[in-house]
């Protein structure tokens, strides 16, 4: 789908969509639990549906009606006969479900699309094979797995993907033996692990953290809380908070929990550092522009915010440096390069290094045609950047937003953003 976004005044109020990060975790925990769970989740997307498909393939019964998932847990033991788990393009689904399937002893074939087969699985891959499982070669599509995971000592580098640690934290309580995950180096995207630990606590699973390691007692039972609600998504609220910072009208977002473990809530503090006005009250979080100035910002724990930080940097006087961003090269696209190329095509002065972006702000952008490279966050970034452009912004592969935010362009229209859909 090709979509054109016109520069128009944009502002107003929106409700934050449900967090797909939280939804992945609680859906998996519910499928492993002792009884049915009702999960209120007002919004679904392709990534969440990928996790639902995989859990259903393993034997869970999951229905969705009126914004609520009802999850009947899978029966155990799970059949060792091979089943197909369709991960779509969801890296979270693959990295969470792979160790879970191994812990259940389920022979499985993981199907994947787009760039997912090329995204890294090591060191998780090596740890699974070292603990009783056989996997087809990395990069295989489909990826097949057999055998039963065993407990013990696991070693995971902290600078590749926190999703590897989350997958093991979800899986290892199912084993008879105790286990330890030893994290080497700095654990990047730490807030996502905190979100996992909270979801596990909600289902009665105890994890002890000690000196850079996670200690997991074996033989634990996931205990359903009965009902729970998926919290609002800070990552997908970021486009609208950025829009408020760079446009002439304020934007208010409701339904966000400032006490959430989600690391991307840091965006409101980053916006304040740029010079935007951020107000929080009972009605939500409101952002409006101010005299924006460039800043240096490290993104080791908040890589998903980089596209929207870049948009705000375009409107800020002076230079912004976005640092420690190398892992963006391993996303749905080489996102660091995609951001630089996309904003450069719109007229931005932006330079890319192996792990950073340097942006000279305060310049007029001309608009133009870009390709999202099938990356949902690049498509959203281009749409928000349109308010800074003299001309229209035409986005090829705009439908990539369905991965995490299917109604993104509808919400943009509701805020006054002008869009026109074109045929492929």
**184-198 pLDDT per residue, tens:** 998 988 999 999 999
Asked whether residue 424 carries a pLDDT value surpassing 60, the answer given is: no
Structural domain range at position 73: 20-217
- Segment 207-213 long-range contacts (CB within 8 Å, at least 24 positions apart): 207/169, 207/173, 212/182, 212/183, 212/187, 213/180, 213/181, 213/182, 213/183
For residues 373 and 302, the answer to whether their CB atoms sit within 8 Å is no
Domain match, 278 and 362 both: yes
Q: What are phi and psi of 39, to 5 degrees?
A: -120, 110
For residues 214 and 181, the answer to whether their CB atoms sit within 8 Å is yes
Q: Which of 202, 304, 375, 410 is catalytic?
A: 304
Instruction: Give the model's pLDDT for residue 75.
Output: 87
Examine residue 211 and state whether it is found in any structural domain, yes or no. Answer: yes
DSSP 280-314: EETTEEEEE----B--EEE-TT-GGGHHHHHHHHH
Examine residue 228 and state whether it is found in any structural domain, yes or no. Answer: no
Closest CA to 415 of 268, 234, 241, 272: 241
Asked whether residue 80 carries a pLDDT value surpassing 80, the answer given is: no
Domain match, 68 and 34 both: yes
Domain match, 53 and 162 both: yes
Instruction: Give the model's pLDDT for residue 188.
Output: 86
Residue 128 three-state SS: helix
Instruction: Give the model's pLDDT for residue 273.
Output: 97
Sequence-separated (6 or more) residues with CB below 8 Å from residue 136? 142, 143, 144, 145
**239-285 pLDDT per residue, tens:** 999 999 999 899 999 999 999 999 999 999 999 999 999 999 888 99
Examine residue 187 and state whether it is found in any structural domain, yes or no. Answer: yes
Instruction: Give the model's pLDDT for residue 375.
Output: 93
Is pTM beyond 0.85? Reply is yes
Alpha carbon 241 to its chain centroid, in Å, reads 17
Domain match, 252 and 207 both: no
Q: 34-38, 109-113, 299-303, 420-424: lowest mean pLDDT where?
A: 420-424
Mean pLDDT of 354-367: 94
Cis bond before residue 56 (omega within 30° of 0) = no
Domain match, 103 and 174 both: yes
Domain match, 75 and 174 both: yes
Domain match, 344 and 398 both: yes
Domain match, 7 and 44 both: no
**281-294 pLDDT per residue, tens:** 888 999 998 899 99
Mean pLDDT of 310-317: 97
- 304 annotated active-site: yes
Instruction: Give the model's pLDDT for residue 419.
Output: 77
Alpha carbon 320 to its chain centroid, in Å, reads 24
Examine residue 314 and state whether it is found in any structural domain, yes or no. Answer: yes
Residue 256 three-state SS: coil
Instruction: Give the model's pLDDT for residue 258.
Output: 92
Task: Return the bridge partners of 39, or none.
Answer: 69, 228
Instruction: Give the model's pLDDT for residue 9.
Output: 67
Domain match, 11 and 42 both: no
The number of C-alpha atoms within 13 Å of 73 and in the hemisphere containing its C-beta is: 22
**56-65 pLDDT per residue, tens:** 999 999 999 9
C-alpha pair distances (Å), 209 with each of 166, 183, 250, 270, 322: 13, 11, 42, 29, 31
Instruction: Give the model's pLDDT for residue 139.
Output: 86
Distance separating alpha carbons of residues 279 and 387, to the nearest angstrom: 22
Examine residue 99 and state whether it is found in any structural domain, yes or no. Answer: yes
**4-37 pLDDT per residue, tens:** 898 776 789 999 999 999 999 999 999 999 999 9
> Domain boundary at 164, 193, 217, which?
217
Examine residue 272 and state whether it is found in any structural domain, yes or no. Answer: yes
Q: How confident is the model at residue 127 (pLDDT cuts 50, 70, 90)?
A: very high
Domain match, 189 and 243 both: no
The overall average pLDDT reported for the chain is 94
Instruction: Give the model's pLDDT for residue 27.
Output: 98
**83-86 and 108-111 beta bridge pairing:** parallel
Q: How confident is the model at residue 237 (pLDDT cuts 50, 70, 90)?
A: very high
For residues 145 and 81, the answer to whether their CB atoms sit within 8 Å is no
Q: What are phi and psi of 362, to 5 degrees?
A: 80, 15
Examine residue 387 and state whether it is found in any structural domain, yes or no. Answer: yes
> Domain boundary at 183, 217, 251, which?
217
The two tokens of residue 208 are: 């002890």
Instruction: Give the model's pLDDT for residue 141.
Output: 87
Distance separating alpha carbons of residues 135 and 246, to the nearest angstrom: 48
Residue of higher predicted confidence among 103 and 10:
103
> Domain boundary at 167, 185, 217, which?
217
Q: Is 136 exposed, middle or buried (0-12, 13-18, 19+ CB in 10 A)?
A: middle
Examine residue 222 and state whether it is found in any structural domain, yes or no. Answer: no
Domain match, 210 and 259 both: no
DSSP annotation of 155 reads E
Domain match, 12 and 145 both: no
Asked whether residue 423 carries a pLDDT value surpassing 90, the answer given is: no
Q: Where residue 357 sits, what CATH number does that domain have?
A: 3.65.10.10
Nearest-Å Rg of the Cα atoms of the chain is 21
Asked whether residue 365 carries a pLDDT value surpassing 80, the answer given is: yes
Q: Which position has the token pair 């033989």?
A: 219
> How many independent structural domains does the chain possess?
2
CA angle 396, 400, 406 (to 5 degrees): 125
């Amino acid at each position: 789908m090709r979509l054109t976004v016109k520069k128009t005044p944009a502002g107003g109020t929106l409700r934050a969509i449900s967090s797909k990060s939280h939804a992945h975790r609680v859906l998996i925990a519910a499928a492993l639990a002792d009884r049915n769970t009702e999960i209120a989740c007002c919004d679904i997307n392709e990534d969440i549906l990928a996790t639902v498909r995989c859990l259903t393939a393993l034997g869970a019964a999951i229905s969705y009606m009126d914004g609520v998932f009802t999850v009947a847990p899978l029966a155990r033991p799970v059949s060792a006969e091979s089943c197909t788990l369709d991960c779509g393009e969801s890296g979270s689904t693959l990295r969470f479900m792979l160790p879970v399937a191994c812990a259940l002893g389920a022979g499985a074939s993981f199907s994947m699309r787009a760039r997912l087969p090329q995204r890294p699985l090591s060191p998780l891959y090596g740890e699974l094979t070292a603990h009783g499982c056989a996997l087809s070669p990395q990069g295989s599509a489909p990826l097949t797995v057999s055998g039963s995971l065993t407990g013990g000592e696991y070693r995971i580098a902290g600078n590749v993907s926190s999703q590897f640690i989350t997958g093991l934290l979800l899986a290892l309580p199912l084993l008879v033996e105790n286990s330890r995950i030893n994290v080497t180096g700095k654990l990047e995207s730490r807030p996502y692990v905190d979100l996992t630990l909270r979801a596990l606590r909600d289902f009665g699973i105890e994890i002890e953290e000690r000196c850079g390691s996670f200690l997991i007692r074996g033989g634990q039972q996931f205990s359903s809380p009965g009902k729970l609600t998926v919290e609002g998504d800070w990552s997908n609220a970021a486009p609208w908070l950025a829009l408020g910072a760079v446009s002439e009208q304020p934007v208010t977002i409701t339904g966000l929990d400032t006490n959430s473990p989600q690391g991307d809530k840091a965006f409101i503090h980053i916006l304040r550092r740029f010079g935007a006005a951020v107000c929080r009250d009972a009605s939500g979080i409101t952002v409006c522009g101010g005299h924006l100035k460039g800043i240096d910002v490290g993104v080791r724990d908040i890589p998903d915010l980089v596209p929207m930080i870049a948009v705000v940097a375009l409107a800020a006087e002076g230079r912004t440096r976005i640092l420690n961003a190398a892992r963006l090269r391993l996303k749905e696209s080489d996102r660091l390069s995609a951001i630089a190329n996309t904003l450069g095509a719109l007229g931005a002065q932006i330079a890319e290094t192996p792990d950073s972006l340097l942006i000279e702000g305060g310049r007029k952008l001309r608009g133009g045609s870009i390709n999202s490279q099938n990356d949902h966050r690049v498509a959203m970034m281009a749409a928000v950047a349109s308010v800074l452009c003299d001309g229209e912004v035409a986005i090829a592969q705009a439908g990539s937003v369905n991965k995490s935010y299917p109604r993104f362009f509808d919400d943009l229209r509701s805020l006054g953003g002008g869009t026109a859909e074109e045929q492929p």
